[in-house]
């Protein structure tokens, strides 16, 4: 029986590292520069990215990252809190633009994450919580939200040449009109459904935006043992660290369940531990580096498709919108490419070896994850491909 594979090349499951809040910013807080860096230092030695490269990507070079990036000066870094801050908007410093272009050239993705991420109710207070409002909760009209969001898409295009296709609500906070804003901007995917949901079959809006799940916390394997910098929380946690090994068993089980059921494994992180409110940013690549190594160490021997959110959403979209028909020697695929997705494929599986021939081009199947698989290119416009099936 011919089938459209669940994932590209019939991989068992896709995995992406999602890093929020990369920004052209730096807070002078810790003696080590990589802990202070939010993106200002680019990929130079001492930067947050260089730390990630050395401590994770060098060991697991297949990892793909989607960076969720606010395009204005990051609002949550408060200038009134006695920590020297440098922060810039996208387009203000060429070095930062070049850094983003390098990330894209390395196969990573940059995605939308608001303009300035939100604002303080009282900027003279250094606390967040009740004193901070995330960006999408501030859009009183759909029109305003669409304008601010479109401006970001245009600025990314101008400065880096990239077409943004997805994004995430700041702090996952949305109000009634938020979905309408995202729908009007016609993103391919959007992380809209709060933390740690493995449901990857949800779409919203007239344009059927793929609701991208956030399925695994990057800090799972250290959550009970790290020091937050908040004295009362750290006092409460002082015995919890002994439960971490037990909690790890649960974390491995959850990770395996995502893998086994062919769900999207999307690992949630932030770029930096440094904040202007004094405590460590919950879930960040520096504090969580051991946890991230455990996660990717678990995934490494398995049949994982390392891909960006955009690549995963693209495959999912084509799969859901394609029709496959076959009889004894003909296989036809129908797909209307209204989103103009290019340089992409659809993977077809069968139990036995087979070939598909279209005029002079022949695709021979290969054994992938227990099934014979071929990858058929998808082109712009209406795709109606008829292939002659040949037994190998
Ligand atoms: Zn954020």
Q: Are 318 and 341 in contact (CB under 8 A)?
A: yes
Instruction: Please report the pLDDT score of residue 246 as a whole number.
Output: 93
Strand partners, 258: none
Distance 69 CA to ligand 1 centre (A): 8
Distance 334 CA to ligand 1 centre (A): 39
- What is the residue-level pLDDT of the chain in tens, covering all 392 positions? 999 999 999 999 999 999 999 999 999 999 999 999 999 999 999 999 999 999 999 999 999 999 999 999 999 999 999 899 999 999 999 999 999 999 999 999 999 999 999 999 999 999 998 999 999 999 999 999 999 999 999 999 999 999 999 999 999 999 999 999 999 999 999 998 777 777 788 899 999 999 999 999 999 999 888 887 888 888 887 888 889 999 999 999 999 999 999 999 999 999 999 999 888 988 999 999 999 999 999 999 999 999 999 999 999 999 998 999 988 888 898 888 888 887 789 999 999 999 998 888 899 999 999 999 999 998 777 777 777 777 76
Instruction: Please report the pLDDT score of residue 386 as a whole number.
Output: 76
Q: Are 159 and 151 in contact (CB under 8 A)?
A: no
Distance 158 CA to ligand 1 centre (A): 23
What is the DSSP pairing of strand 203-204 with strand 354-358?
unpaired
Distance 58 CA to ligand 1 centre (A): 26
d(CA 305, CA 392): 26
**Structure token pair of residue 179:** 């979905």
Instruction: Please report the pLDDT score of residue 220 as a whole number.
Output: 96
Instruction: Please report the pLDDT score of residue 99 as a whole number.
Output: 98
Distance 117 CA to ligand 1 centre (A): 7
Tell me whether residue 180 is exposed, middle or buried, using C-beta atoms within 10 angstroms of its C-beta: 0 to 12, 13 to 18, 19 or more: middle
Q: Are 372 and 365 in contact (CB under 8 A)?
A: yes
d(CA 108, CA 86): 25
Among 85, 60, 111, 137, residue whose Cα is nearest residue 301: 60
Instruction: Please report the pLDDT score of residue 242 as a whole number.
Output: 87
Instruction: Please report the pLDDT score of residue 392 as a whole number.
Output: 67
Distance 272 CA to ligand 1 centre (A): 11
Which residue is it, tokens 């990892």? 63
Distance 22 CA to ligand 1 centre (A): 9
What is the DSSP pairing of strand 65-69 with strand 118-120?
unpaired
Which residue is it, tokens 């297949």? 62
Among 318, 339, 323, 343, residue whose Cα is nearest residue 381: 339
Statement: 13-312 belongs to CATH 3.20.20.370: yes
Instruction: Please report the pLDDT score of residue 175 as a whole number.
Output: 92
**Structure token pair of residue 149:** 């969001």
Instruction: Please report the pLDDT score of residue 343 as a whole number.
Output: 79
Distance 170 CA to ligand 1 centre (A): 5
Distance 114 CA to ligand 1 centre (A): 8
Instruction: Please report the pLDDT score of residue 212 as a whole number.
Output: 96
d(CA 71, CA 60): 29
Distance 214 CA to ligand 1 centre (A): 13
Distance 21 CA to ligand 1 centre (A): 5
Distance 113 CA to ligand 1 centre (A): 7
Instruction: Please report the pLDDT score of residue 375 as a whole number.
Output: 95
151, 234, 235 from 231: Cα distances, Å: 41, 5, 6
Distance 270 CA to ligand 1 centre (A): 8
d(CA 358, CA 380): 17
Q: Are 88 and 24 in contact (CB under 8 A)?
A: yes
Distance 18 CA to ligand 1 centre (A): 11
Distance 314 CA to ligand 1 centre (A): 23
Distance 13 CA to ligand 1 centre (A): 26
What is the DSSP pairing of strand 132-134 with strand 354-358?
unpaired
Distance 171 CA to ligand 1 centre (A): 5
Listed by start position, the domains of the chain span: 13-312, 321-391
């Amino acid at each position: 029986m011919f089938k459209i594979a669940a994932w590209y090349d019939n991989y068992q499951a896709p995995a992406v590292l999602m890093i929020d809040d990369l920004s052209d910013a730096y807070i002078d807080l810790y003696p080590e520069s990589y802990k202070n860096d939010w993106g200002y230092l680019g990929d130079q030695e001492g930067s947050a990215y260089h730390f990630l490269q050395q401590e994770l990507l060098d060991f697991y070079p297949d990892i793909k990252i989607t960076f969720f990036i606010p395009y204005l000066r990051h609002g949550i870094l408060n200038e009134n809190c006695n920590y020297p801050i440098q922060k810039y908007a996208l387009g203000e410093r060429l070095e930062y633009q070049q850094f983003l272009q390098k990330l894209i050239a390395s196969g990573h993705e940059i995605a939308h994450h608001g303009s300035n991420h939100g604002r303080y109710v009282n900027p003279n207070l250094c606390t967040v919580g009740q004193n901070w409002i995330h960006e999408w909760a501030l859009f009183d009209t759909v029109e305003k939200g669409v304008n601010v969001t479109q401006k970001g898409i245009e600025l990314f295009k101008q400065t880096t040449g990239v077409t943004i296709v997805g994004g995430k609500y700041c702090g996952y906070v949305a109000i009634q009109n938020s979905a309408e804003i995202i729908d009007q901007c016609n993103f391919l995917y959007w992380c809209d459904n709060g933390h740690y949901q493995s449901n990857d079959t949800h779409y919203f809006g007239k344009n059927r935006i793929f609701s991208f799940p956030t399925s695994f916390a990057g800090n799972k394997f250290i959550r009970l043992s790290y020091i937050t910098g908040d004295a009362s929380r750290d006092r409460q946690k002082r015995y919890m660290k002994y439960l971490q090994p037990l909690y790890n068993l649960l974390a491995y089980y959850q990770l395996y369940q995502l893998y086994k059921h062919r769900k999207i494994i999307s690992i949630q992180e932030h770029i930096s531990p440094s904040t202007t409110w004094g405590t460590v940013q919950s879930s960040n690549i520096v504090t969580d580096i051991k946890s991230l190594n455990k996660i990717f160490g678990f995934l490494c021997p398995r049949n994982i498709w390392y891909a960006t959110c955009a690549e995963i959403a693209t495959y999912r979209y084509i799969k859901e919108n394609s029709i496959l028909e076959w009889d004894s020697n003909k296989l036809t695929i129908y797909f209307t490419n209204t989103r103009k997705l290019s340089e992409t494929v659809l993977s077809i599986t069968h139990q036995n070896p087979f070939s598909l021939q279209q005029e002079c081009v022949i695709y021979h199947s290969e054994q992938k994850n227990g099934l014979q698989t071929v990858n058929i290119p998808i082109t712009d416009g209406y795709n109606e491909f008829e292939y002659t099936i040949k037994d190998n």
